[in-house]
Structure 1
């Protein structure tokens, strides 16, 4: 199979469906991929929906918590989030938190029943949605609900996403006191007109101020998210955003190319001709511009869309996804992966709360046992994105045969017995994956 010329680096949708790899770039958390394994339409049980659980306990274990609330809906967003107006009286942060406590207790009991000893939780990631809408006390309650049911590793990484406009110095101080260790701020752009097109509500200067407040509160690890390739964005706009990122002094940057998702307000505008679709050549050029600026400032890529100043600054939770680890996904629409089995929760917050309250059951809407072929495919798709590369030993005979052609095309190199993307290969990562799997 030949390598396609899709120039935009793909994005793992690493929130509500962390193991999913999009073969086109995407700006944020997941919508579920089509499920291809042994699928059950619903799971009405306290036990984990996992007959084999054959590999659980062999590596790091993380917990992802999905907060489904947003003040407003961004035009590009297709994530499982809801505004207060959309929910009405069917759900609230209070009912969600009570349901989360119930899900944590049920899940802990299910894990305790496994033959393998439950490992300590090495990473926690609270995403959404807009977790900062819960406030410092609400996010402290989330962490308390986890601690009440699971054992945290002594060096656990605990991250929460935040919208800069719903943060303050007091907010960050409360989080630090509660035990959070890492902050991820949604910046997207420093250009006012770009934020307007994205329907973002924060002012351009607020993310930098919020990052400084987080660092002043004692957070050593602070991330800023960027979106590039928005219709109407210029090179000068991107440079303005990069200037702001570097001024903030953060130790981690995530940069995602815009994808226009079906069903979003932005997709409707593109379809009506009100906005142009993102240009792939422009996306590739912007990615190279980002990488050049960040690398010169001492932030180096460790995954196709992520840069960190130090090894300790890398997001360990997301590395758990990319390395094929295990995690529990809690909250509406969250996906879990344990020992070769994946399950996903009901999506609507009201139904989620009803499901948990009705009986001590997992609020799962279905599950699948991954076949060996599916596990192999996901291993290739995930590991190839990492700077550490895909170990040659993990690739089958056909894939190893294809490596020589990829090396000749300048897309990968073999280093320390691992297949590693070159700079050009990062722009064509989807094609590399398809070639290795052909």
Structure 2
């Protein structure tokens, strides 16, 4: 969750949604995202809305679970008052920050609030992110007993000098311990990796992939390192203390990952995500990519219901103050028009393995498909049947493909 919030209209204190948000609501799933904004150490590359103990003023980390629960209760009142039919949560995702810095009992109480307020759909996916050094075996057992079904582990790399550049503090050996404990508790496991860190070689990247695959994860995400303005890493690069990111290597690293993951039985289903089987694809993230509804709980969290999007105030103290006054913690909101929703649909759906229907394109966008096929960016067979599906080369140049599908 990037720390900078977009500019938009003020959000009403009562949080009520316009009637347009209810159109077709019965056809959309409902998910809940809970943003826990605390980290033990701020990584130099991170642009997320997170805070270390030294940066928090006016709030206590131990109070956060109660504040999040208060927003869940507030959300239910808003949806009911807006005329939205009650829907059980199909997915629940605890992100951050490092959710597992909170006691497992706090996470259980937050999940119980979702369960009590909306209910959980049968077979609901319930995920928490965790750093390898932020949870022990007993904590993992407690999460499984509480109803969590999936653990997303921030491995990032298996190579100490790469982790040091990223300012990740965990011992790489802890990744295997956490995965083993999750397996014993019956949790599905996802691993997150980052490639393209300054100083990372192709051999380093292969080592990280090898060690990740040796743990036999159900799901793996691999993200190219993006140097965000204002981060410590960006300042280090600007001062010449760290080598700049080599964008040309990103394609080499990505191709290596795709080949190695495919050989191990993980198929891509989104440009940066692979899974061993369809049931292990992140259902929560797919809800974002396919336009379903979710309520984001926590400082800076984003929400979306029926084309209405809003985001909470960033700082935990401001968030707590608004909830204490029983008003919406939202800082701003926007109602997407039909054209904006079409553009976002094309942008996101293009990144998925099932691709985007040419029906979502303008006449000029459809005409550009032939050129994309000729350039080896789009699979010819699906395109002839009316669906744009990226080739491997197309995945490497996905942003450029989208620009040609959405010409001015």
Q: TM-score, normalised by structure 2?
A: 0.96
Matched, 1:73 2:31: no
Q: Which residue of 2 aligns with 1:382?
A: 348
Matched, 1:245 2:212: yes
Q: Could you tell me how far apart the structure 2 residues matched to 1:267 and 1:374 are?
A: 31
The answer to whether the 8 Å contact 1:61/1:325 transfers is yes
- Bigger drift between 409-418 and 99-108 goes to 409-418
Q: 1:123-158 deviations in whole A, cap 9, x for unaligned?
A: 011000000101221211110121221121011100
Q: Which residue of 2 aligns with 1:15?
A: none
Matched, 1:131 2:99: yes
Q: Which residue of 1 aligns with 2:159?
A: 191
- Name the structure with the higher helix share: 2
Matched, 1:30 2:5: no
Q: Could you tell me how far apart the structure 1 residues matched to 2:266 and 2:322 are?
A: 44
Give me the CA root mean square deviation.
Answer: 1.3
SS at match of 1:321: helix
2:389 to 412, 416, 420: 420
Q: Could you tell me how far apart the structure 2 residues matched to 1:151 and 1:239 are?
A: 43
1:411 to 377, 385, 398: 377
Matched, 1:395 2:367: no
Q: 1:348-398 deviations in whole A, cap 9, x for unaligned?
A: 001101100112x22111110001111111001100000111122222222
SS at match of 2:144: helix
Q: Which residue of 1 aligns with 2:12?
A: 43
Higher relative contact order (CA 8 A, sep 6+): 1
Superposition misfits of 4+ residues, deviation over 6 angstroms: none
Q: Could you tell me how far apart the structure 2 residues matched to 1:57 and 1:30 are?
A: 30
Q: Which residue of 2 aligns with 1:12?
A: none
The answer to whether the 8 Å contact 1:66/1:126 transfers is yes
Q: Give 1:221-240 correspondences, 5 Å limit.
A: 221-240=188-207
- How far apart are residue 236 of structure 1 and its match? 1.3
2:231 to 264, 279, 286: 264
Q: Which residue of 2 aligns with 1:285?
A: 252
- How far apart are residue 109 of structure 1 and its match? 1.1
Q: Could you tell me how far apart the structure 2 residues matched to 1:135 and 1:422 are?
A: 44
Structure 2: give runs of 5+ residues left out of the alignment: none
Q: Which residue of 2 aligns with 1:367?
A: 333
- Bigger drift between 179-188 and 231-240 goes to 231-240
Q: Which residue of 1 aligns with 2:113?
A: 145
Q: Could you tell me how far apart the structure 2 residues matched to 1:132 and 1:115 are?
A: 35
SS at match of 1:164: coil
Q: Could you tell me how far apart the structure 1 residues matched to 2:102 and 2:376 are?
A: 48
The answer to whether the 8 Å contact 2:3/2:314 transfers is no
Q: 1:280-330 deviations in whole A, cap 9, x for unaligned?
A: 110110000011100000011000000000111100000111111111111
Q: TM-score, normalised by structure 1?
A: 0.89
Q: 1:246-284 deviations in whole A, cap 9, x for unaligned?
A: 111111000001011111110000000111221111011
Q: Give 1:145-164 correspondences, 5 Å limit.
A: 145-164=113-132
- How far apart are residue 96 of structure 1 and its match? 1.8
> Residues 44 and 332 (structure 1 numbering): CA distance in 2 closer, same or farther, change over 3 Å?
same
The answer to whether the 8 Å contact 1:95/1:353 transfers is no
Matched, 1:355 2:322: yes
The answer to whether the 8 Å contact 1:100/1:145 transfers is no
Matched, 1:333 2:265: no
Q: Could you tell me how far apart the structure 2 residues matched to 1:42 and 1:60 are?
A: 24
Q: Which residue of 1 aligns with 2:133?
A: 165
Q: Which residue of 1 aligns with 2:145?
A: 177
Q: Could you tell me how far apart the structure 1 residues matched to 2:406 and 2:5 are?
A: 18
The answer to whether the 8 Å contact 1:209/1:248 transfers is no
Structure 1: give runs of 5+ residues left out of the alignment: 1-28
Q: Which residue of 2 aligns with 1:206?
A: 174
Matched, 1:82 2:51: yes
